[in-house]
With several copies, the nearest count.
Chain A
C-alpha cells in the first residue's frame, strides 16, 4: 500500500492507524484535518477537493520521505480526500510513529505544513448564502498578501 494516498471514499482511521503500528515505537502522533462549519466569517455547508492525482501522489510521497529523513521517524503515512465532503468529515490524516515523541510531533507537523503548500489540491467551499469559493493557500494569508478571492458560482 502506498504511504501517501488520495481517497474518494471516507477514510478508515482504524485501518490507517494499523499501518503505523511498530513495536519499536513509543510515540504516535496523528493529525486530522476536519471539515469546519465556518471560514472567515462565512457559514460553510460542505466542500469539495479537486486533486490532480498523479502529481499529488508523487509529491506527497516525497514529503513523507523528507520527514523520515529529516526527523528520523520510523513510519509516516497520509491520506487526502478528493471529491465532496460534509461537515466533520476527515479531509486529511497524517500519522507518524517513532521511538520518541519529539521527532514524531515535528515530523507530523512538517508533513501537514508541506502538504498544504505543495500538493496540487484545491478546496472549494460551499456557503449557506448559496455562493462557493476556491480557498487560497495558508501561505498567502500568512504572508499577508492581498486576499485573492477566486469567486465562482456554485454549480450545484
Chain B
C-alpha cells in the first residue's frame, strides 16, 4: 500500500524531510516508524512521541490503510 508520512519539528530536522510517500507493508504506525528510522539515520522514537493518522490521534498499534497520511510527532511541548 502507499502511505504519506509527515515529520514534524525535531523529526523533520533529523530526517531533513517534511513529507514522503512510501510503499510499505507495515501493519501499524510502530512498524512504519521502524522502517522509516532504518532509512533515516538519527531518527528514533523518543518516549512520548505521538502519531496521528488522517488528522486523528492514533495508537502506535492501530491499523493502516492504503492512502493513509501518517503524522509522526516528537514529544510535544506547548505552552
Number of contact residues on B: which range applies? 20 to 34
- Write out, one digit per residue, whether chain B residues 39-79 have a CB within 8 A of any chain A CB (1) or not (0): 00000001110101001110000000000000101111111
Q: Interface residues, chain A, CB within 8 Å of chain B?
A: 33, 49-50, 52, 54-56, 58-59, 80, 91-92, 101, 112, 115-124, 134-140, 145-146, 148, 150, 152
- Bound-state CA distance A33–B75 (Å) is 19
Among A116, A124, A134, A150, contact of B78 (Cβ-Cβ < 8 Å)? A116
Whether B9 lies near A55 (C-beta < 8 A) is: no
**In the complex, chain B residues whose CB is within 8 Å of the CB of A91:** 79
Chain A at the B interface: SS class: mixed
**In the complex, chain A residues whose CB is within 8 Å of the CB of B76:** 116-122, 137
Among A52, A115, A148, contact of B79 (Cβ-Cβ < 8 Å)? A115
**In the complex, chain B residues whose CB is within 8 Å of the CB of A56:** 78
**In the complex, chain A residues whose CB is within 8 Å of the CB of B47:** 140, 145-146, 148
